[in-house]
Amino acid sequence: MEENQEQVQNHNGELKKEAAETFKETKDQIKNINFKEEAEKGKGLLGKLFKRPIETIKEIVEDNGNQFYKTALIIIFVWAVLILLKKILDFMIYRYYKFDVLVTLKAILSPILGIFVMALIIHILNKDNKQPLTKSITTVAIAKIPLVISTILGYLTYISANILYITNPISSFLIIISTVLMFFVVKEMFGEEDNEKALKIFIKVEVIYYIVVFAVSFLGLSI
C-alpha cells in the first residue's frame, strides 16, 4: 500500500514538473514566434497533411527538435480567435443574440482545453515512451486542423443560411478526418505497429477523454 502511494506521489510530482516545463517552453516559443514564417510553414504542413497524412503525423512524432510546436500554438490561437470573432459577429448581426462574456470565454477555452486534455491523456498513458508533453500537444493540435477548417466554414452562414446544406456534410466529413488523424497520432505516439492493438489504445484514449468531457460539462464547459 505504502509503495503504491509512493508511486502515485512520484508520478504526480513528475506530472507537475512536466507541466511547469511545458508552460515555460510555451512562453519561450510564444515570445519567438515569427507569424509570417509560421504561416508559410503552416501552409506546407496543411498540404502535406492532406496529401500524405500518415507520413506527416509520423514525421511530427519523430521530430525531436520540437520544430512544429510553434505551428501547433498558432493553430490553437487561430481556432480561439475564430470562435471569438464568430461570437462578436453573432452579436452584431443577430438582434436576438445577447453577448455574454462568460459564455464567450468558455467557448474560447473549449478547443484549448480539449487539445490539452487529449494530449495529457495520451502523455499519461504513454509514459513508458517518455515523450515530452509538448509533443503530445503538437500532434493533437495538428490532428484538429480539420475542425479549424470546419469553424471557418461556419462563417459562410453569414452569407446565406441555406449554405448549411453544403457546409454541414463537409463539416461532418472534416470531423471524420480529424478522428482518423487522431487514430494515427495515437498509433505513432505509442509506437504500435499492429493496427488492431493501436485501435484498442485509441478507443481507450477516447473513452477516457469523453469521461473527462462529461465531468467537465458540470462546470458548464464544453470541450
Helix axes 145-153, 133-143, angle to 10 degrees: 40
| 136-178 per-position pLDDT tens digit | 999 999 999 999 999 999 999 888 888 888 999 999 999 999 9
Q: Are 74 and 35 in contact (CB under 8 A)?
A: yes
| 77-99 per-position pLDDT tens digit | 999 999 999 988 888 888 777 87
Rounded (5°) CA angle 156-78-27: 170
Q: Are 205 and 122 in contact (CB under 8 A)?
A: yes
Give the domain range for residue 152: 2-217
Q: What residues contact 161, with CB distance under 8 A and at least 6 apart?
A: none
As a whole number of angstroms, the longest Cα–Cα distance in the chain is 64
The answer to whether residue 45 sits within a structural domain is yes
**Type of residue numbered 60:** I
Which grid coordinates belong to 163? 449554405
The answer to whether residue 222 sits within a structural domain is no
The answer to whether residue 124 sits within a structural domain is yes
Which grid coordinates belong to 184? 494515427
pLDDT, averaged across the chain: 85
User: What is the total count of domains within the chain?
Assistant: 1
Q: Are 150 and 35 in contact (CB under 8 A)?
A: no
CA atoms of 83 and 92, how far apart (whole Å): 14
| 91-132 per-position pLDDT tens digit | 888 877 787 888 888 889 889 999 999 999 999 998 877 788
The answer to whether residue 223 sits within a structural domain is no
The answer to whether residue 18 sits within a structural domain is yes
How far is CA 34 from each of CA 48, 60, 70, 109, 145, rounded to the nearest angstrom?
21, 20, 9, 24, 20
The answer to whether residue 86 sits within a structural domain is yes
Q: Are 133 and 22 in contact (CB under 8 A)?
A: yes
pTM of structure: 0.85
How far is CA 134 from each of CA 73, 137, 167, 174, 189, rounded to the nearest angstrom?
10, 5, 33, 25, 12
The answer to whether residue 61 sits within a structural domain is yes
The answer to whether residue 126 sits within a structural domain is yes
Rounded (5°) CA angle 180-196-123: 65
